[in-house]
Chains A and B, each alone.
Chain A
Amino acid sequence: MNSRQLIAIAKRAGFWALIGVLMVYAIFPFYYAVITSLKPASQLFRVDYWLNSVDFSNYERVLTQGSFLQAIGNSVLVAVCVVFIALLLGLTAAYALGRVRFRGRNSVLLIVLGVSMFPQVAVLAGLFEVVRVLNIYNSPWALVLSYTIFTLPFTVWVLTTFMRQLPMELEEAAIMDGATPWVTITRVFMPLMWPAMATTGLLAFIAAWNEFLFALTFTLTDSQRTVPVAIALISGGSPHELPWGTIMAASVVVTVPLVVLVMIFQRRIVSGLTAGAVKG
């Protein structure tokens, strides 16, 4: 074996080692959560990297809690509503901003982008007032409202960029066929924009699903909470006990739907995110 072959092997080994490090870095926390969730309470504080026995009692405890199931229901409701509203408004806004010529179009786009630059904490107090005035405090609608505010800028930007790439003549062909703007959007543009919509929709879903600060602030009772807050507020038998096993089981339960969604839309996300990079 000559030195060139050795170098090639070393390079290859280094490459895979690097991938290994990255994998561990990315996956280990989640892996440890899964392991912890499958341990009985008695073994909780023994540091094990491998699973010796499988114990589902943590899951049983989480899933038999009525308030946790209720929280999942709330989360689903909020996330689905946010995605639906964000896509609807995003698509129509993208049509206006991408296709209709009007004065101040770019300023509107920049303002939309500017909105997303504020940290959540900065708008918390103001938003609280809005929520109170609308009389939706302590209800999922308060969360739908606030998440939509933070989801829309991204949605509008991605969809506008995507919309601008669709050929002008396609819209004109639809106009010649007698289509109104609404028909053009729903029956000509929308089918062509699935990748972008899958991407933005999924990211909106994840953002709404994981959000904590607003969810903590705008809800009060167990029955109105979403999953991240519910998990944070899981408490043990005494004030001094943190039931890590149950918390981890709950975390795994709420992460799995996201992983499944990402898997399903994986290809579309990639094509949606790279759209515009090169002319296809």
Chain B
Amino acid sequence: MASVTLNKINKVFGSTHIINDVDLIIGDGEFVVFVGPSGCGKSTLLRLIAGLESITDGDLKIDDDVVNELPPRERGVGMVFQSYALYPHMSVYENMAFGLKLAKTDKQTVHERVMATARILQLEELLERKPKALSGGQRQRVAMGRAMAREPRILLFDEPLSNLDASLRVQMRNEIARLHDRLGSTMIYVTHDQVEAMTLADKIVVLKGGHIEQVGSPQTLYQQPATKFVAGFIGSPTMNFMPAELEDNPAEGCRVRAKGIGALNLPQDASAQRTNAQLTLGVRPEHLRLAPAEGDNAFEVVNVEYLGNEVYVYLEPMEGRTLLIHRSEAPCQWQVGQRAALIADLACVHLFDGNDHSLAVRKTSAAA
């Protein structure tokens, strides 16, 4: 168990700057998930922590020691690879014992550790098998067992579930969460799947283009996304965005106008923005309500998706192209071609400035 501190970490490959001034503190025993679209540098960041890539600039600390120059085996980290990368010619037992043997652990201890790990992961029946005789989920568990057997201070996971089918992925996700509760060790997990991130993490790190977009608990990221990118990345179906114009800045908040919705009085503080500034309004599909249309502010229902427990209603403003999604419980009375007025839950509406940064809610109005 250990804490990890990243201090102005940079990674440059040739002329590409992959990781840009990343600062991050990962507490002892935390489950941290790096998430972001492909190419955002999340895997590279993990490999920098593992020691598989060298750090171009900055300090990486595990507990209080700078480990920039230490090889992986001396950092006390274990890693689970996306392809599992099990040694095909070794049995499950040998796979898990390999690292311990290389560390010149005595035979008795090797055996005890492997057996203990196998017990935790329910691999006892499979110890004599070769990887090719295992199912995907079993290989996944062996890969975790191999990483755990050396009792590393930090466990790293590089998109470990992406090779599994959907139902097995949910099952393994659950197993990893329980494993974390049981071991209590620090875990860093990379994924592009925001559902995995939301369900597993104590703390999510959203990366984009090599820098950290936002760090926070799943709840924080969902309720208070710092940028439009985070708002769009977290949550499924994704948040609805529409252009809005700032009309006025009264004392208790701001007044914006959006096509098809009309004027809205929002609690956000937009005093730094010019009047008539172009902003972006963000509302999650679950925070939109529909009502029969009256007057000009209306949307047309263009598609209705029935998912059994819920319904997605796709809407387009009478003029303009922005496609919105409304999400509600099934059944739903809306049909394609109908006109609907949107009622947004004003406490759950987000407002982003011209640089896609979120505008904060005015403290005074929140207190009142």
Contacts and interface: CB of A to CB of B under 8 A. Distances in A.
A59 to B, nearest CB: 43
A173 B85 contact: yes
B89 A176 contact: no
Interface stretch (A149-157, A177-185, A202-210, A216-224): A177-185
B50 A176 contact: yes
B278 to A, nearest CB: 46
Interface stretch (B71-79, B264-272, B315-323): B71-79
Contacts of A174: 87, 98
B89 A191 contact: yes
Interface string A156-198: 0000000000010110111111110001000110011000000
Nearest to B77: A176
A169 B52 CA distance: 10
Given A177-B73, A192-B89, A172 B102 contact: no
A188 B83 contact: no
B136 interface: no
A192 B77 CA distance: 26
A172 B86 CA distance: 11
Contact of B78 (A170, A176, A188): A176
A169 B102 contact: no
B308 interface: no
Contacts of B99: 176-178
Contact of A188 (B52, B79, B87): B87
Contact of A172 (B52, B73, B87, B103): B52
A188 B85 CA distance: 11
Using C-beta atoms within 8 Å of the partner chain, give the interface range for chain A: 10 to 19
Contact of B102 (A179, A191, A192): A179
B141 to A, nearest CB: 15
Contacts of B102: 177-179, 183
Question: B-side binding surface: helix, strand, loop or mixed?
Answer: loop
Contacts, number: 54
Nearest to B152: A176
A169 B82 contact: yes
Given A178-B73, A178-B103, A172 B89 contact: no
Nearest to A173: B85
A187 B87 CA distance: 10
Given A175-B52, A177-B99, A170 B85 contact: yes
A136 B88 CA distance: 44
Interface in B302-343: none
A169 B73 contact: no
Given A169-B81, A172-B81, A183-B102, A177 B146 contact: yes
Given A170-B87, A188-B87, A178 B72 contact: yes
Contact of B83 (A169, A179, A183, A192): A169
Contacts of B83: 167, 169
B298 interface: no
A12 B309 CA distance: 65
Contacts of B50: 176
A175 B83 CA distance: 16
A167 B103 contact: no
A68 B78 CA distance: 60
Contacts of B89: 191-192
Contact of B98 (A167, A177, A192): A177
Interface in A72-117: none
A178 B100 CA distance: 9
B201 interface: no
A186 to B, nearest CB: 12
A192 B88 contact: yes
Contacts of B283: none
B147 interface: yes
Nearest to B147: A176
A213 to B, nearest CB: 40
A169 B71 CA distance: 16
A240 B85 CA distance: 68
A98 B81 CA distance: 21
A167 B81 CA distance: 11
A176 B87 contact: no
B88 A176 contact: no
A107 to B, nearest CB: 19
A167 B72 contact: no
Contacts of A167: 83, 85
A103 to B, nearest CB: 12
Nearest to B88: A192
9 contacts: A167-B83, A170-B85, A172-B52, A173-B87, A176-B78, A177-B99, A177-B150, A178-B102, A178-B103
Interface of A: 167, 169-170, 172-179, 183, 187-188, 191-192
Interface of B: 50-52, 71-73, 77-79, 81-83, 85-89, 98-99, 102-103, 146-147, 150
Q: Which 9 A-B pairs have the closest CB atoms?
A: A178-B73, A177-B99, A169-B85, A173-B85, A191-B89, A169-B81, A178-B102, A176-B79, A170-B85
